[in-house]
Amino acid sequence: MAGEALSRPDGRAGNQIRPLVCTRSLLSRADGSAEWSQENTTVLAAVYGPKSVTGKKENPEYASLEVIWKPKSGLSGKFEKEAELIVKRSLESIILAALYPNLGISIILQVINDDGSLLACAMNAACAALVDAGIPLSGLIAAVSCGVTVNNEVVLDLLKSEEQKNVAHVCLVFPSQPVSVVLELASNVDEKPEKQGFTTCVMRGAMDVDQYLTCVDQGRAASAEIAKFLRKSLGQSQVWALLSFLL
Amino acid sequence: MEVEAFKRLYPLPFYERYLDSSVRPDGRPLGRARPTSVSLGAVSTADGSAIVKIGNTTMLAGVKLEVMVPSQETPDQGSITVDFQMPPICSPLVRPGRPVEAASVISEQLSNVLTSSELVNLSELCIAPGKAAWMAYLDVYCLDADGSLLDTALLASVAALAHLQLPAVSVSEEGRVYPVSSTTSGDVSMEGAETSIKVKGNSISPRRRLKLGAAPFALTCMVHKKHLLADPCAEEETLLQSSITITMNQMGRLVSFYKPGGAVPATTAIVKECISLARRRAREVQQILKEALEDHIESPSLMQTD
């Protein structure tokens, strides 16, 4: 299977992701911003926070998180609402919200161009923007999309044309925490990086269980690469460079 | 300390005490879903309808049909529009005038699952290619929101579509569609048709049920640090936070795996266990739906075998 040439529209191999570009601090008014591109799919993320919130949104124990998804054109519909919820729930697991009670963090995602893997691109952009804003995180996240073609091949980082033609595709988000500083989560460290679980999964289309497990494995490997790229682009300190070499 | 006070002050440790003994406060084992019941034909004015209860969660689904002109790209296909609503009757958290975000999310998930599972073959909804086709409006109303909303909504949708009967119609050459009444199953008579139209030029499609593909069934599981709970109630959902919703069909195909974030990452072990729970649940629910359909159908000649 690996030797056969897959006919993807842009000539990539099945387990090849598109070139990534991450630019930070583009917006002057936002506390943090980042633009993440996976070749032609581009999302611009802006983070405002921690800032004061009013009324119901105020939580005396945690900072409240708000995600706004702006489509490239048209009004926000149900797809945007679902995407907002998914991004919010995924980021809640990494943001140390307990440090900012009674405050709020807003993340605005603007779709610049959509050529497939939009949700994954937006998640990566949001994570980079959060780091740019200086919001304390317990780790990073790396998102990737995988799909199953009509010939039962598993491909990564789908184009829009592939998403429409394929049998099914799934967006997976993996946490990237090589070292845990929280004792209760230490059980995660015992597991080999190869067996790490995913934070989020959203599927479109139907596939068999074995195909799904293959997608998860491929996605896990790709997300490790994406996380490595993210760390490098965020300008890692000496400590990070040393740890990533050891593991 | 009294049990009530302990439950209010420390809800999570209260729950964990039960979970460690592999049982929940309502006595259910961790892997078991709540009692499920399906009742068809609840709305007599709708072309297909069903009320489904899983525990206390109640959903009402209805299908209404309308004739439309099919689009030029797909001249032999009808269409289905899915709408899911959570009126204030269902939960104290829903206020009138302000739509809950959960409703949009579940609505999107529901239409996604119904499309992915290919339950309804849109060509079945065609009356005359290029001229007339059925547009089905599937409306799902939540009457009582007590956890596992997607599971119940999906089952209600599947039941309503299984109950749906396409009315007998006659199509004229210009594409006008007329209702037809069938006195006996073999003899069809015209009703309300203009006298100038010849009967020979019209094609008549009889009253029939839709031939459905493999039906999808969903199961929501809550993931806790050490335990996996199937079919949570609303209290468990707000307390335990990390949920996984798996939709499988009878063929064992994974139609949807939905995990919207959450503090606990899903390892391969958790994924496999959830899938096996979902598979078992799909078999259970398939049986319940089949029995409900058999009870409801009066004339044996219309019985469909899934």
Q: What is the ipTM of this complex?
A: 0.84
For the record, the structure tokens of B281 come out as 């649940």
Among B116, B256, B266, whose Cβ lies nearest the Cβ of A198? B266
Please state, rounded to an integer, the average pLDDT across all residues of chain A: 86
3-state secondary structure of A1: coil
Q: Give the pLDDT score at A182.
A: 62
Helices marked H in B164-298: 234-240, 268-296
- Summarised one tens digit per residue, pLDDT across range B47-92 is 999 999 999 999 999 999 999 888 888 888 889 999 999 999 999 9
Res B193 pLDDT > 80: no
Domain count, chain A: 1
* Closest A-chain CA to B84: A78
Residues of B in contact with A207 (CB under 8 A): 253-254
Q: Is residue A187 part of a domain?
A: yes
Q: Is residue A6 part of a domain?
A: no
Res B190 pLDDT > 60: no
| CATH code at position A106 | 3.30.230.70
N-to-C CA span, chain A: 30
Looking at per-residue pLDDT, the higher value among B178 and A95 belongs to: A95
Nearest-Å Rg of the Cα atoms of chain A is 18
pLDDT bin (cut points 50, 70, 90) of residue A136 is: very high
pLDDT bin (cut points 50, 70, 90) of residue A1 is: very low
* Poorest-pLDDT segment among A142-146, A237-241, B297-301: A237-241
CB spacing of A201 vs B268 below 8 angstroms: no
Q: Give the pLDDT score at A134.
A: 93
Residues of B in contact with A216 (CB under 8 A): 268, 271
Q: What domain range includes position A78?
A: 20-246
Q: Give the pLDDT score at B306.
A: 39
Element of type H or E holding A125: helix A118-133
Mean pLDDT of B6-25: 88
* Closest B-chain CA to A208: B253
Judge contact between A119 and A111, C-beta under 8 A. no
Residues of A in contact with B112 (CB under 8 A): 204
Among A89, A92, A206, whose Cβ lies nearest the Cβ of B253? A206
- Summarised one tens digit per residue, pLDDT across range B249-284 is 888 899 999 999 888 888 888 999 999 999 999 999
Q: Is residue A191 part of a domain?
A: yes
Judge contact between A63 and A51, C-beta under 8 A. no
* Poorest-pLDDT segment among A176-185, B50-59, B100-109, B241-250: A176-185
Shortest CA gap B49–chain A (Å): 24
pLDDT bin (cut points 50, 70, 90) of residue A189 is: very low
Q: Is residue A241 part of a domain?
A: yes
**Among the listed residues B246, B258, B57, B60, the one whose alpha carbon sits nearest the alpha carbon of residue A170:** B258
Res B98 pLDDT > 90: no
Which residues, at least 6 apart from A7, have a Cβ–Cβ distance to it below 8 Å? none
What pTM did the predictor assign? 0.86
Is A199's Cβ below 8 Å from some Cβ in B?
A: yes
Q: Give the pLDDT score at A183.
A: 60
Among B108, B117, B267, whose Cβ lies nearest the Cβ of A197? B267
Q: Give the pLDDT score at A181.
A: 59
Is A172's Cβ below 8 Å from some Cβ in B?
A: no
* Closest A-chain CA to B109: A82
Is B213's Cβ below 8 Å from some Cβ in A?
A: no
For the record, the structure tokens of A14 come out as 């099945």
Q: Is residue A77 part of a domain?
A: yes
| Distance (Å, whole) CA B56 – CA B25 | 15
* Poorest-pLDDT segment among A22-26, A42-46, A195-199: A195-199
Is A168's Cβ below 8 Å from some Cβ in B?
A: yes
CB spacing of B105 vs A88 below 8 angstroms: no
Tokens 């609303």 correspond to what residue? B234
pLDDT bin (cut points 50, 70, 90) of residue B209 is: confident
* Closest A-chain CA to B248: A206
For the record, the structure tokens of B256 come out as 């949807």
B22: left (phi over 0), alpha (psi -120 to 50) or beta: left
CB spacing of A196 vs B107 below 8 angstroms: no
Q: Give the pLDDT score at A234.
A: 86
CB spacing of B255 vs A174 below 8 angstroms: no
- Summarised one tens digit per residue, pLDDT across range B19-34 is 888 888 888 898 899 9
Residues in A 60-89 with any Cβ partner in B closer than 8 A: 78-79, 81-82, 84-86, 88-89
Residue A27 CA: distances (Å) to CA of A21, A233, A236: 17, 18, 22
Element of type H or E holding B156: helix B149-163
Res B173 pLDDT > 80: no
Shortest CA gap B270–chain A (Å): 9
DSSP state at residue B35? P
Q: Is residue A55 part of a domain?
A: yes
Residues of B in contact with A84 (CB under 8 A): 101
Among A82, A173, A200, whose Cβ lies nearest the Cβ of B105? A82
CB spacing of A199 vs B254 below 8 angstroms: no
Q: Is residue A8 part of a domain?
A: no
DSSP state at residue A207? B
Looking at per-residue pLDDT, the higher value among A187 and B65 belongs to: B65
Among B105, B255, B268, whose Cβ lies nearest the Cβ of A206? B255
- Summarised one tens digit per residue, pLDDT across range A52-74 is 998 888 889 999 999 999 999 99
Res B225 pLDDT > 60: yes
Q: Give the pLDDT score at A179.
A: 62
Instruction: State how beta strands A154-156 and A140-148 pair.
Output: antiparallel
Res B303 pLDDT > 60: no
Mean pLDDT of A161-173: 90
Q: Is residue A13 part of a domain?
A: no
Is A10's Cβ below 8 Å from some Cβ in B?
A: no
DSSP state at residue B301? G
CB spacing of B271 vs A213 below 8 angstroms: yes
Is B245's Cβ below 8 Å from some Cβ in A?
A: no
Q: Give the pLDDT score at A203.
A: 93
Is A201's Cβ below 8 Å from some Cβ in B?
A: yes
Res B185 pLDDT > 60: no
Q: Which of A76, A80, A82 would you mutate first to test chain B, the one with the most B CBs within 10 A?
A: A82
